[in-house]
Amino acid sequence: MTPVPEPIGPVDATKVPRFAGPSTFARLPSIDAVHDFDVAVLGAPFDGGTSYRPGARFGPLAVRTASRHLRTAYHPELDVTPFQRVQVVDAGDVPVNPFVIEDAISQIEAHAGDLVRDSSRLVTVGGDHTVALPLLRAARRGHGPVALVHFDAHLDTWDTYFGASLTHGTVFRRAHEEGLLVADHSMHIGIRGPLYDRSDLIDDARFGFEVLRASDLDRLGSEEVSARIRARVGDCPVYLSVDIDVLDPAFAPGTGTPEMGGFTSRELLGLLRRLGGLPIVGSDVVEVSPSYDTSEITALAAATVVYDVISLMARELGT
């Protein structure tokens, strides 16, 4: 694809201090301020699918605020100047119905579907993990079925809770059932903690997921884990879903279902940065619940992940 000739970048931090100026992600232009875009950051402030601590509806707000921390011109590990290379915008928030899960899912699907086109990509900030389902539907519409690369403490392939089939713990079973995923090319990374039932893992495997547990990282190392991810997804278009609780609670206290024994932030970044070259067609970063956060560390981690995903996309998209 051809990026627009001269992308409009963030507000210049040498002219407007980072604590001032617009509240868009990384102080990027709003979607209304540009003619076209390559990558859009979208907020999906919905948390009605949360089983324990709610509050992820404030995730987009918190992640945008924390993104003020970022210096953004040049990403040295990925050797890319993402906002010069492609046009990145903030697409605002999906106006969701906070009371009815089905409505919210439809709204996100419609809104994201309007933004996703062949040449554009979405990085969506949740919201709870429920939002991944409509985003995967929108991704399929734009790019066909995808290989899911899923960083999370939890499988999120349970069937129902209290009879509800659309919740933050059931989305990837639904995605599998709806044919949104390329069979046998998806993977969970960072899984840990006890399960509701021994059969959870059996079901999950049956749906075509491979599991790399958090403790596997100790055993295999970052190089090997990233190699396995690459091998798993093959040439499929990739949808990258990052539940911030893949980090240990020390690194991401601000989330709804924290789980002891997770990744350090350097480990997560080390894995993400080894995914260069994959055709990431869509992504979400979810489950930031700011009222449980501490001095923005969770939101800053999420904002950094968003920036890294944009940088990965920019390397592939830019010419």
141 binds a second copy (CB under 8 A): no
For the CB of residue 23, give the shortest distance to a second copy in the complex, in Å. 3
Q: Which residues in 4-42 are b (16+ Cβ under 10 Å) and which e?
A: eeebebbbebeeeeeeeebebbbbbbebeebeebbbbbb
Q: Which is nearer to a second copy, 2 or 264 (CB)?
A: 264
Measuring CA to CA, how many Å separate 268 from each of 116, 190, 243, 285?
27, 9, 11, 13
73 makes contact with a second copy (CB under 8 A): yes
Report the residue number, 102 or 184, with the smaller CB distance to a second copy: 102
- The tokens describing 290, both together, are 């700011």
- By CB under 8 A, is residue 106 in contact with a second copy? no
Q: Which of residues 167-186 bind a second copy (CB under 8 A)?
A: 167
Site string for a second copy, 35-54 (x = CB under 8 A): --------x-x-xxxxxxxx
| DSSP structure string for 234-281 | TTS-EEEEEEGGGB-TTT--SSSS--SS-B-HHHHHHHHGGGTT--EE
Q: Which of 5, 6, 35, 99 binds a second copy (CB under 8 A)?
A: 99
- Our finding on whether 86 is near a second copy (CB under 8 A) is no
* 61 forms part of the interface with a second copy (CB under 8 A): yes
CB 152 within 8 A of CB 191: yes
**288-307 binders of a second copy (CB under 8 A):** 291-297, 300-301, 304, 307
Among 19, 35, 118, 319, binds a second copy (CB under 8 A): 19
**Helix (H) / strand (E) containing 187:** strand 186-191
- Does 164 help bind a second copy (rule: CB under 8 A)? yes
Please tell me the count of residues contacting a second copy according to CB under 8 A: 97
The sign of the dihedral angle between the CA atoms of 179, 232, 305, 23 is negative
In whole angstroms, how close is the CB of 46 to a second copy at the nearest point? 9
Of 9, 60, 134, 145, which lies in the binding site for a second copy, with binding defined by CB under 8 A? 60
User: Contacting a second copy (CB under 8 A), which of 8, 222, 230, 276?
Assistant: 222
Type of residue at 14: T
Query: What secondary structure does DSSP assign to 102-118, as a single string?
Result: HHHHHHHHHHHHHH--T
How far from the centroid of its chain's Cα atoms is residue 237's Cα?
A: 15
Window of 92-100, 131-139, 180-188, 280-288 that interacts with a second copy by CB under 8 A: 92-100
Which residue type is seen at 214? Answer: A
Cα gap 25→50, rounded to integer Å: 25
**Residue 258 near a second copy by CB under 8 A:** yes
Shortest distance in whole angstroms from residue 210 CB to a second copy: 15
* CA gyration radius, the chain: 18
Q: Does residue number 97 form part of the binding site for a second copy (CB under 8 A)?
A: yes
CB of 295 to a second copy, least distance (A): 4
Closest distance of CB 234 from a second copy, Å: 27
